[in-house]
Chains A and B, each alone.
Chain A
């Protein structure tokens, strides 16, 4: 029976791949190319250099840090998949109604998750680490041990992910857990970047601060001995068997007994009678839909971390991003670049959300202009204050002059107001509605526009300030005249764009737009 389920699930994945449109295939090919040509060689270079040349006492510490990082990030990513495949997929119920043993079904699901999402990544890590240490100690058994170790780490990752999902379902409803964990998953998507950049910077200090843990890997992954190899491998096989049995039995029990669904914390608000202006009621509706749904948070919140990534990029590698900048230049550059990025992405996502209830909105006695005015104001309310707060936080981190902070706030406000209408136009270009992945709202073309803008901004962030700074006595100081000109230009531009783009989106709403319904 297990074999049949696996065959069916694999067939379904293959059919999904066969049904991909050309643009998606192109994106995947480009991604695969980047992974093969850039990411893998880079990983090999960094990790092999370390494991071949580092002091021996640092190897176990690096291995434990690597294992923890892989375990945490991977587990967070997996959580999303588990939620989608186990809670949001009606197939589970259909399967359970057939004469199939629940243990077979959940074992098959876990094998699929392991095979498609865990094993490929852990295999790469196992080969890189194993090969580097094999070269160092000239002992091929290390490569085999490394494979065994990372296979076991993968099983532990799956078990931790399931544990995380079912632990939280004990406190909240499955639906709510889905939302919370999607939010966690959203953050998990930017976590690797932070770990790789910020973590990488403090890696050596962290390793030096760690206690001696030679007993963990000595004789197995480095300086191998036959006894340790046999003992540890047997222990790992036992651990894998125990983890698989424990996880499958917990999942089966949870589903059969309904433990995952019996905790429903019902929200109960007060019943008030209020009749507002249509625009106010539309904004209130959007705010409630956003603040009560963690999935909405997962769409936008991670984007608010990007100003700090810009800050790190400019501080960590000034030569690549336009030379050494003073704090005034940094805050103004981030004020502009971050505001463009956040406003473009968030307003596009917020506007595209309406596609999921387009028919309902279309039947309401409000015209497109009213709807889009409300949407514009909603975007301003949700983006502008957050960005001003972010600017103040950055002010306290890098302590520029107060004048620079004031300019940054004004500049970012005007930038936000200018970019939101453009984001709204992108959001209505060809929105996507997916019940399984509500964050997947923009089509490929819109995503390409936004990604390209972000890429350009990342490269240009350090050079942006040169527009409004001048060199006086060897120091970069704010050119007030240039700054005023920029601010006035932005004021005019934001008024013009708000006028035309809101009308353009309203017309699009009235005439109807192409919506792609997925799943």
Chain B
């Protein structure tokens, strides 16, 4: 589904992503973890075509990723970390617009919209302008828009930020079922428990370089530690903790 090889991105002299390789299989939920500034968002933006790589190759659905290929875009969705929607549209108008550009069947659209907006409990707010929505409601609207046309591949950048616990749980359950149905999810998150709970494979990136990739069991490699322990040991967090303890 996603093939990445020798992918790098430089911003001037600063290396954001350095020569990374990984692949995501069809029907897999792939969690991409890393601390702030490690290169997660740059990677997801390169995968979705929003940022051009400095070098390396990205293949999605067996083709080179290019945002000018409308057919590829029709089969995928991206939920960015900041739900920046045009505020002067109502929730309903925004979803109508998305359904129109994805050329959805009207009946299918109506059913999917009703199902998702009821699940996220924003169905009563659809007539309200998006600018009146809270951060969480916007996030739910963007998630609805991303899911309603049933993409085969879903990119989620910090999808649970701003979501209340109930919606968080609903989203997790929805994603599990969604992946079980054969679809693919590429997820970046700081919430390690989320990755631990729903990811099929986990990849940890630090300072632009991939530190480890595998299933949770493979990452643990027989040890008793949690994902948090593994994450901190690979991203320098333990050293920071030790340093803080010594100073204290």
Task: Name A residues whose Cβ lies closer than 8 Å to a Cβ of B.
Answer: 175, 264, 266-278, 280-282, 284-285, 288-289, 292-293, 357, 359-360, 362-368, 510, 512
Contact = CB atoms under 8 A, between A and B. Distances in A.
A508 B153 CA distance: 27
Interface stretch (B27-35, B122-130, B183-191, B209-217): B122-130
Interface stretch (B85-93, B192-200, B221-229): B85-93
A266 B127 CA distance: 10
* Interface SS of chain B: mixed
Nearest to B88: A292
A284 B97 CA distance: 9
B103 A278 contact: yes
A362 B96 contact: no
Nearest to B78: A363
23 contacts: A175-B131, A266-B129, A267-B90, A267-B132, A269-B90, A269-B127, A271-B126, A272-B92, A275-B106, A280-B100, A282-B101, A285-B89, A285-B97, A288-B88, A292-B129, A359-B80, A360-B84, A360-B86, A362-B49, A363-B50, A366-B101, A367-B68, A510-B67
B96 A364 contact: no
Contacts, number: 100
Nearest to B132: A266
Contacts of A264: 132
B101 A364 contact: yes
Contacts of B80: 359
A275 B103 contact: yes
B93 A288 contact: yes
Nearest to A506: B68
B172 interface: no
Contacts of A289: 86, 88-89
Interface residues of B, number: 40
A366 B96 contact: no
Given A278-B103, A364-B73, A365-B102, A285 B128 contact: no
A512 B129 CA distance: 29
B109 A277 contact: no
A430 B181 CA distance: 44
A359 B50 contact: yes
B101 A266 contact: no
Nearest to B131: A175
Interface string B99-129: 1111111100110010000000000001111
B176 interface: no
A-B CB proximity, top 8 nearest: A281-B100, A365-B74, A365-B73, A271-B92, A292-B88, A276-B100, A273-B110, A271-B126
A275 B126 CA distance: 16
Q: In the complex, which of the residues A269, A271, A273 has the most CB atoms of chain B within 10 Å of its own CB atom? A: A271
B123 to A, nearest CB: 8
Contacts of B110: 273
A396 B245 CA distance: 84
A368 B78 CA distance: 19
Nearest to B125: A268
Contacts of B71: 365
B48 interface: yes
Nearest to A277: B100
Interface in B18-60: 48-50, 52
B70 interface: yes
B100 to A, nearest CB: 3
A264 to B, nearest CB: 7
Nearest to B74: A365
A273 B67 CA distance: 28
A264 B131 CA distance: 12
A271 B127 CA distance: 6
Given A175-B131, A278-B103, A289-B86, A363 B97 contact: no
Contacts of A275: 96, 99-100, 103-106, 109
Contacts of A510: 67-68
Nearest to B94: A285
Contacts of A268: 127-128
Contact of A362 (B50, B98, B100): B50
A89 B109 CA distance: 40
Nearest to B110: A273
A365 B78 CA distance: 12
Nearest to A368: B68
A363 B73 contact: yes
A498 to B, nearest CB: 22
Contact of A363 (B67, B86, B88, B131): B67
A281 B50 contact: no
Contacts of B92: 269-272
B128 A266 contact: yes
Contacts of A368: 68
Contacts of B127: 268-271
Contacts of A366: 70, 101
Given A271-B126, A363-B67, A368-B68, A357 B84 contact: yes
Contacts of A285: 86, 89, 93, 97
Contacts of B97: 281-282, 284-285
A272 B70 contact: no
B88 A273 contact: no
Given A282-B97, A510-B67, 5 more contacts: A275-B103, A276-B96, A277-B100, A359-B50, A365-B70
A359 B142 CA distance: 14
Contacts of A360: 84-86
A87 to B, nearest CB: 14
Nearest to A363: B78
Given A271-B126, A275-B106, A363-B67, A357 B86 contact: yes
Nearest to B109: A275
A270 B101 CA distance: 21
A517 B91 CA distance: 27
Contacts of A293: 88
Contact of A281 (B86, B101, B105, B113): B101
A277 B96 CA distance: 11
Nearest to A286: B86
A359 B50 CA distance: 7
Nearest to B102: A365
A376 B144 CA distance: 30
A273 B86 contact: no
Contacts of A270: 92, 127
A289 B97 CA distance: 13
Contacts of A269: 90, 92-93, 127
A269 B96 CA distance: 13
